[in-house]
Amino acid sequence: MALATLCVLSGIAQDVRASAALKSADDYITLQAAKGSFRGAVLVGMNGKIMFEKGYGFANEEWAIPNSPNTEYRIFSMTKQFTGTCILLLEERGLLKVQDPVSRYVSDLPESWRPITLHQLLTHTSGIPNYPDMTPRAKEYDRLGATPREMLDVAATKPLEFRPGTKLNYSNTGYILLGMVIEKVSGESYADFLKKNIFDPLGMDHSGYDYQSRILKNRASGYSTREGQVTNAEGLRKQRTAW
């Protein structure tokens, strides 16, 4: 009985500490949201159980629609982890190797790009310029959207920034190339491959490829802050992204 009592008391103490920690976190995040330095949703899980979930700030400023645990968010460059996973899945299945040159899978590349390996693309060590930073044409694509090939053509107007494998510099262009490799090797669209090989098997029913034209229930609008004022974000179509 004494051991059982101690176990119960220990469990109660842990619950009290967890509740206090969650209350403290909620108070802090609420304050940050009020200051305009955070908006989104927070979920805390412990031992396979959801202990806390709450939305902060607005999903849509103009209609004063608050964020909730059900709000859908574009994740932009966090999509890269899924692209990398797809490449490794294809390698695991014997369909490619990360040390292969990208030119084995994508044709009509500049001569200097052809020896670049998939591994260098994955690790941002390819030297390929980051196309969104480059030209007025790239900024136009940010607004209007573009095909992967059109985005590559923008980046190809500039030389490599360094010899592949010698430095690290963040490059969205490299991940556009990796998406094209996934489509070439799998014979499926990037979106379909993600769904069939990652989202569906893992039960990620509220995740997917983000089509700008799609009517997606509960999708949050994007915002930036300029001179202390909230503004609508620009460049929502500049790269492949999931939600």
pLDDT block averages, 10 residues each, the chain of length 243: 43 72 94 92 91 95 95 92 97 98 96 97 96 65 74 89 96 95 97 97 92 86 86 64 63
| Its pTM surpasses 0.85 | no
pLDDT, position 4: 44
User: What CATH superfamily is the domain 76-206?
Assistant: DD-peptidase/beta-lactamase superfamily (3.40.710.10)
- What is the reported pLDDT for 214? 83
User: Which of 186, 172, 187 lies closest to 239 in space, CA to CA?
Assistant: 172
pLDDT the model gives residue 18? 83
CB 121 within 8 A of CB 88: no
Between CA 173 and CA 189 the distance in angstroms is: 18
d(CA 33, CA 54): 12
Please tell me the predicted confidence (pLDDT) of residue 238.
Answer: 46
Q: Which positions are catalytic? A: 77
Q: Tokens in use for 154?
A: 């923008």
∠ CA 171-200-203, nearest 5°, is 105
